[in-house]
Amino acid sequence: MLAIVLLLLAPALAALVAGLMRSERARPLVLPALGAVHLLAAVATIVTRPIAGHQDHLLVASLWLRLDALGSVVLLALSVLFLLVACYAPGYLAARSERANRVLVVCFCIFLGLATLATLSQHLGLMWAAIEGATLACTPMIYFNHNQRSLEATWKYLMVGGVGIALALLGTFFMAYAAIASGRPAELTYEALMANGALSEPWVRVAFVLLLVGYGTKMGLAPLHSWKPDAYGETPGIVGALLAGGMTSVAFLALARVVGLVEALGQGAFARQALTVMGLLSMAWAAVFMVRQSDLKRLLAYSSVEHMGILAIGLGLGPAALPAVLLHLLGNTWAKSALFISAGNIHRAFASKHIPAVSGAILRLPVSGTIFLLGFLAATGAPPFALFLSEFGLLQAAAGAGAWWTGGIFLACLVVVFLGFSATVLAAVLGETDAPEPEPQLGDSWRTTLPPALGLGLVLALGLWTPAPLRGLFDEAAASWPVPHAAAVPHPAPEPVP
Amino acid sequence: MVDLLLALIILLNFAMLGSGRIRVLIQTAALQGVVISALPLALGHEHTLRGVVLALVTLAVKGFVIPAVLLSAFDRLKIRREVEPFISYAASLLLVALGTAAAVLVGRQLPLAPEHAGSLAVAAALATVIAGFLLLITRRKAITQATGYLILENGISIFGLTLVGGVPFLVETTLLLDLVAGVFVMVIVMNHIHRAFTTLDTRQLTALKE
């Protein structure tokens, strides 16, 4: 109870403090402090969270704000990612002292607060508002470099993201109307909506499509990902990590909640089909654009599109695949922190993010180069990293469900992604370089390498051993996945429109 | 009464897609916002404190605050007055007519609750969303695109205000707050675009591609 309040208040307080602080050097230190408090509060909230059916009604909004197993996993992914990025931020912002950092630091805090609110919210409208707010908080971050290219990326992000999130709102209203059209009250908490059993089929389907398009745009599922390479490409590595790990994970959670809801409302098969198609399309699209991709950060953006595709396919496989999906989400989130931060280090030292200008990075930046190389292996699902386990688990689930085509295309895309990713990464990291030694402040130091190394270490550790509490969360999320209400109270079909 | 307002909203969509002056376009969008804010009151069953406050907040946000923000940006940035579409006005009108027809067809496929039988609300909402989207993708200037976004949101409000009565007040007002914040951010970015490129023509924004 206390932990939840702290979880939501700490980011707001930190944003206020950061906004009032005058010192450019001291302000970024707010971020690691917030990250540490947030992680402690998150763990406390997850551990003490009320067991389903025993919620405490101390909060007026207890039906709106509740941490379930699914939300816990996303909250954990987000909180750890934020702490890693926050520990890197002071060093990075000191190196970029030519740019004022007030807006960036404040937006980081606001983003964390709203993303946390999204993981807790059990209400379609509140979830939407939190994600919309988090989206807006990201806008100034993307424009941090203040040049024409980042401006273009920001405008595209605003427009594409704005339309997407608007359609999600329309979908939310349609879902409410699905209840009204079936003669039920328009409650927008998941619990109340699910209790309805089967609702008006056309409304639920249209609502689902709109919500899929809306939150799919935020996740960056193909063909709605067009903002992603531009935004990730033109923004600092820390922002890329926060977007690729945090924003996408929260959007995934929103989509997963909607899928569960639609399942309970009797349209699960339709939703799973749509997710599988979009997931496979995302993987294939990403694979095509990763081959011969010369821009390191755009490469990572397409890798993010690929992983979002994998998560969508996993959702499409139903609750049996959910433990693998959640493991994949954790692995992807933390691997992205290592990749984006080390790519940022390389970008700064070489003053370029393109091969062949970047070559032999491991000679100039031994630690960042190694992290980038290992991060590539982690992101492509090489053993013993966590993503190997999760991708293997998804294949097993596909085989178990008899989805041979899905499994086959999934595997083929993974191979192409590996080949495309490796060509660029190997050219950038290994090979000869005639670039001069970077100046000392651009070289590797513990401040610029420890956070991404820790992120990578977590992905490795998860691949070797899943702690029992985490396994418990995965299983609980799968066990509490909604099932279609076969025994729902029958109610009269709505009158057809004359 | 409600259907009359909804029909007026659809007509305003045509007016906006056919308008060649940015100032007129923004003013028409403001008028559409005013009409939309009258919907909860015209419905009759919303003559409660909640309904009145909601109508007033919608009126303030959609009819005045956002259009004023857009108009002041328009004046300050000294943008040329023409809308400059990618396609001709005739083609725009044809597309919005097709979009409206599609909206009516889709609206008829979706079963309404008995108390809403025969309502134009679904068709009007979808037609306005489509009109906003068309404006967003067929116009060159950032300010016209932002207006398109406002109109798209108008369409969603139409649906929310006429058909979904049960959405908590807190959520409704948060939505409007989000809209204001979104448009503010857009205008700030517009200022930067104008400073960096000395124009609001988004065709300048084509450096990023494969």
Instruction: Answer whether A441's CB lies under 8 Å from A316's CB.
Output: no
Q: What is the pLDDT of residue A62?
A: 59
Q: Find the closest chain B residue to A179 by CA distance.
A: B113
Q: Is the pLDDT of residue A238 over 90?
A: yes
What is the per-residue pLDDT across B145-155, written as a single tens digit (0 to 9) for each? 999 999 999 99
Q: Find the closest chain A residue to B154 by CA distance.
A: A166
Q: What is the pLDDT of residue A183?
A: 85
Q: Find the closest chain B residue to A185 by CA distance.
A: B166
The answer to whether residue A272 sits within a structural domain is yes
Total domains in chain A come to 1
- With beta carbons under 8 A apart, name residues in chain B contacting A181: 110-113
Q: How many CA atoms lie within 13 A of A378 on its CB side?
A: 34
Q: Do A203 and B175 touch (CB under 8 A)?
A: no
**Residue among B111, B185, B210 whose CB faces A200 most closely:** B111
Q: Residue A493: which pLDDT band, with cuts at 50, 70 and 90?
A: very low
Mean pLDDT, rounded, of chain A = 91
The answer to whether residue A494 sits within a structural domain is no
**Residue of A441 and A18 predicted with greater confidence:** A18
Structure tokens, A306: 């690929």
Q: Is the pLDDT of residue B104 over 70?
A: yes
d(CA B198, CA A148): 11
Q: What is the pLDDT of residue B193?
A: 87
Q: What is the pLDDT of residue A488?
A: 44
A259-268, B41-50, B58-67, B114-123, range with the lowest pLDDT: B41-50
What is the per-residue pLDDT across A163-206, written as a single tens digit (0 to 9) for each? 999 999 999 999 999 988 888 887 888 888 888 888 889 999 99
Please tell me if residue A176 touches chain B, with a CB cutoff of 8 Å.
yes
Q: Do B171 and A162 touch (CB under 8 A)?
A: no
Residues 277-336 of A with CB under 8 A from B: 289
SS3 of A316, please?
helix
Q: What is the pLDDT of residue A485?
A: 66
- With beta carbons under 8 A apart, name residues in chain A contacting B201: none
A73-77, A339-343, B199-203, range with the lowest pLDDT: B199-203
* Listed residue (A423, A403, A90) closest to A272, CA to CA: A403
How many contacts (CB atoms, under 8 Å) link A and B? Answer: 141
**Residue among B149, B164, B210 whose CB faces A180 most closely:** B164
Q: How many CA atoms lie within 13 A of A260 on its CB side?
A: 24
Contacts 24+ apart (CB under 8 A), A183-189: A183/A491, A183/A492, A183/A494, A183/B113, A184/A491, A185/B166, A186/B164, A186/B165, A186/B166, A186/B167, A187/B166, A188/A123, A188/A124, A188/A125, A188/B166, A188/B167, A188/B168, A188/B171, A189/A63, A189/A64, A189/A122, A189/A123, A189/A124
The answer to whether residue A9 sits within a structural domain is yes
Q: What is the pLDDT of residue A51?
A: 65
User: Percentage of chain A with pLDDT > 90?
Assistant: 78
Q: Do B178 and A177 touch (CB under 8 A)?
A: no
**Residue among B165, B171, B196 whose CB faces A148 most closely:** B196
Please tell me if residue B155 touches chain A, with a CB cutoff of 8 Å.
yes
Average pLDDT for A413-434: 92
Of the residues B185, B186, B188, B203, the best mutation for testing chain A's interface (the one with the most A CB atoms within 10 Å of its CB) is B185
Of the residues A180, A230, A353, A497, the best mutation for testing chain B's interface (the one with the most B CB atoms within 10 Å of its CB) is A497
- In the DSSP assignment, the letter for residue A465 is -
Q: How many other CB atoms are there within 10 angstroms of residue A444's CB atom?
A: 19
Of the residues A145, A156, A170, A196, the best mutation for testing chain B's interface (the one with the most B CB atoms within 10 Å of its CB) is A170
d(CA B32, CA B29): 5
Q: Find the closest chain A residue to B122 by CA distance.
A: A174
Please tell me if residue A154 touches chain B, with a CB cutoff of 8 Å.
yes
Distance of CA A226 to the CA centre of its chain: 17
Domain positions in chain B are: 2-204
Please tell me if residue B111 touches chain A, with a CB cutoff of 8 Å.
yes
Looking at CA atoms only, how far is residue B24 from chain A in angstroms?
22
Q: What is the pLDDT of residue A442?
A: 79
* Listed residue (A174, A227, A166) closest to B129, CA to CA: A166
Instruction: Answer whether A398's CB lies under 8 Å from A406's CB.
Output: yes
Q: Do A136 and B159 touch (CB under 8 A)?
A: no
Q: Residue B46: which pLDDT band, with cuts at 50, 70 and 90?
A: low
Structure tokens, B125: 């909402």
Q: What is the pLDDT of residue A432?
A: 82
- With beta carbons under 8 A apart, name residues in chain B contacting A189: none
d(CA A112, CA A12): 9
d(CA A396, CA A378): 20
Average pLDDT for A83-108: 94
Average pLDDT for A124-129: 91
Beta bridge partners of B141: B201
A105-114, A374-383, B169-178, range with the lowest pLDDT: B169-178
Please tell me if residue A156 touches chain B, with a CB cutoff of 8 Å.
yes
SS3 of A246, please?
helix
Q: What is the pLDDT of residue B79?
A: 74
d(CA A47, CA A50): 9
Would you say the ipTM is above 0.85? yes
d(CA B131, CA B148): 8
Looking at CA atoms only, how far is residue A203 from chain B in angstroms?
6
Residue range(s) defining the domain that contains residue A444? 2-479
Q: What is the pLDDT of residue B20?
A: 87
Q: What is the pLDDT of residue B113?
A: 85
The answer to whether residue A484 sits within a structural domain is no
Q: Find the closest chain B residue to A173 by CA distance.
A: B160
Q: What is the pLDDT of residue A322?
A: 96
SS3 of B64, please?
helix
d(CA A304, CA B154): 33
Residue A464, CA distances (Å) to A13, A152, A272, A314 in order: 38, 42, 31, 21
Q: What is the pLDDT of residue A497?
A: 46
Looking at CA atoms only, how far is residue A281 from chain B in angstroms?
18
d(CA A284, CA A305): 10
Structure tokens, B103: 């909206």
- With beta carbons under 8 A apart, name residues in chain B contacting A229: 208, 210
d(CA B95, CA B13): 11
CA dihedral A150, A155, A156, A159 (to 10 degrees): 160
- With beta carbons under 8 A apart, name residues in chain B contacting A169: 156, 175
- In the DSSP assignment, the letter for residue A359 is -
Q: Find the closest chain B residue to A298 by CA distance.
A: B210
The answer to whether residue A313 sits within a structural domain is yes
- With beta carbons under 8 A apart, name residues in chain A contacting B110: 181, 202-203, 206
What is the per-residue pLDDT across A44-82, written as a single tens digit (0 to 9) for each? 999 988 765 555 544 544 578 889 999 999 999 999 999
Q: Do A169 and B133 touch (CB under 8 A)?
A: no
Q: Is the peptide bond before A492 cis (omega within 30 degrees of 0)?
A: no
Of the residues B137, B138, B189, B201, the best mutation for testing chain A's interface (the one with the most A CB atoms within 10 Å of its CB) is B189
Q: What is the pLDDT of residue A285?
A: 96
Looking at CA atoms only, how far is residue B196 from chain A in angstroms?
6
Rg (Cα) of chain A, in Å, rounded?
Answer: 22
Q: Residue B194: which pLDDT band, with cuts at 50, 70 and 90?
A: confident
What is the per-residue pLDDT across A362-405, written as a single tens digit (0 to 9) for each? 998 999 999 999 999 999 999 999 999 999 999 999 999 999 99
**Residue of B198 and A18 predicted with greater confidence:** A18
